[in-house]
Structure 1
Amino acid sequence: MTPFDFEEPIRTERVLMRLLTEADIDAVYSYQSRDDVCRYLLFEPRDRETVAAKVREHATHSRLEKDGDYLQLAVERVADGRVLGDMYITVKSAENQTLELGWTFHPDAHGQGFASECATALLRLAFDRMGAHRVIAELDPRNEGSIRLCTRLGMREEAHFREDLWFKGEWADTGVYAILDREWRALGA
């Protein structure tokens, strides 16, 4: 798999995906502080100080090469510069050429196709520029919106692990969706 250095924003028709900056703290806080947004995330709603620390940490990650490398990208609407959410891409296994995607958006941006647009751009990056063999998304199977997104992207359910994760005071399931490079190419995306 070819390493990738994030040197310039990724632009789609309506959004710009770029590294997070200190200027994004309040925008990220506006959705990461919400119960409804964090319901299926691995963390509880965050206070502004925690969001600020995370944004500063994420801003330092700009290379995908080895296991655990990641990009956490601000999703900025081109029309008005508003940060709508963030996208995540990480090297799950360099040896097995596997990447993982994730996403979090402010509820005001739900249902408008922004996540599909961004995830499609990151799948192009993964398969066309980096030469990934496989891209996965791990999610809470109760998160119907993320499941619909995976399906729209051409990903298929590969696994549904029952009560494999102690999550917010209870046992929870994990769903795994995936797409292979040849499946991506067959979509003509």
Structure 2
Amino acid sequence: MSEPAPLLSTSRLRLRAFQPHDLAAFAAYRAHPEVARFQSWEPYSAEQSAAFVASQTGAAIPAAPGSWVQIGIALLATNELVGDCALCLNADEPRIAEIGITLAPQHQGQGYAAEALRGLLGYCFETLKLHRVVAVTDCLNEGSVRLLSGVGMRREAHFRRNIWFKGAWGDEYVYAALREEWPVAPR
């Protein structure tokens, strides 16, 4: 049986639906405490990973408005899963979406996250014809702050102590880009 066509490919990556063989890589990075540090979830158990990959395997991209879908980030040369992007069309206004990203620690610092997000933003604006894409990050997540501004998103808001997050009040930044601004960074 052949694998489903990728959502898109970049120079080094393939963004695609999850596949059953992604489980081991997914479970490894989602169980890592540093990966979970700024995420809304705690480190995944093996059972949680298996259930999540099963639920996302073959999922529609994009999902119905108001529902999140995870998109696998795989190396183009090997199809090895190195992370995932999240995409959610707004339930009340599906021309607006929120995105997110998670990358395995051993694949961080190599430009993969920026390449994947530029690809995802291109898909959102060029294929889905979305009006606006937003991303929310913890203000303490310096890597994410650099990443979001580096792919051309603009910081639009700083919410102070607005979220109870892992036992303390946290600050968040909201980043956004509009379709008429795309492409905002070299691809």
Please give the TM-score of this superposition, normalised by the length of structure 1.
0.89
Deviations 1:43-64 (A, max 9, x none): 1111110111111112253142
CA contact (8 A) 1:63 1:70 kept: no
List alignment gaps of at least 5 residues for structure 2.
Answer: none
CA contact (8 A) 1:61 1:70 kept: no
| Map of 2:20 onto structure 1 | 22
Whether 2:12 is the aligned partner of 1:8: answer no
Deviations 1:5-39 (A, max 9, x none): xx630211111111112211110111111111100
Residues 96 and 32 from structure 1, CA distance in 2 versus in 1: closer, same or farther, beyond 3 angstroms?
closer
Whether 2:158 is the aligned partner of 1:147: answer no
Task: Report the Cα distance in structure 2 between the residues aligned to 1:186 and 1:155, rounded to whole angstroms.
Answer: 8
Task: Report the Cα distance in structure 1 between the residues aligned to 2:72 and 2:184, rounded to whole angstroms.
Answer: 29
| Map of 1:156 onto structure 2 | 154
In structure 1, the residue corresponding to 2:139 is in which secondary structure?
A: coil
Task: Report the Cα distance in structure 1 between the residues aligned to 2:117 and 2:31, rounded to whole angstroms.
Answer: 23
| Map of 1:80 onto structure 2 | 78
Question: RMSD across aligned C-alpha pairs, in angstroms?
Answer: 1.9
Whether 2:51 is the aligned partner of 1:43: answer no
Opposite residue 138 of structure 1, the aligned amino acid is V
| Map of 1:32 onto structure 2 | 30
Task: Report the Cα distance in structure 1 between the residues aligned to 2:47 and 2:105, rounded to whole angstroms.
Answer: 22
Residues 158 and 78 from structure 1, CA distance in 2 versus in 1: closer, same or farther, beyond 3 angstroms?
same
Task: Report the Cα distance in structure 2 between the residues aligned to 1:60 and 1:81, rounded to whole angstroms.
Answer: 16
In structure 2, the residue corresponding to 1:24 is in which secondary structure?
A: helix
Opposite residue 165 of structure 2, the aligned amino acid is F
| Map of 2:52 onto structure 1 | 54
| Map of 1:118 onto structure 2 | 116
Regions of 4+ moved over 4 Å: 185-189
> Alignment partner for residue 170 of structure 1, among 168, 175, 178?
168
Please give the TM-score of this superposition, normalised by the length of structure 2.
0.89
In structure 1, the residue corresponding to 2:182 is in which secondary structure?
A: helix
CA contact (8 A) 2:114 2:150 kept: yes
Task: Report the Cα distance in structure 2 between the residues aligned to 1:85 and 1:65, rounded to whole angstroms.
Answer: 19
Aligned length: 183
Q: How does 1:132-143 map to 2 (within 5 A)?
A: 132-143=130-141
Task: Report the Cα distance in structure 2 between the residues aligned to 1:24 and 1:41, rounded to whole angstroms.
Answer: 20
CA contact (8 A) 2:63 2:69 kept: no
List alignment gaps of at least 5 residues for structure 1.
Answer: 1-6
Deviations 1:141-172 (A, max 9, x none): 11111111111111111111112211111111
CA contact (8 A) 1:64 1:71 kept: yes
- Shift of residue 70 of structure 1? 3.4
Opposite residue 9 of structure 2, the aligned amino acid is R
CA contact (8 A) 2:152 2:184 kept: no
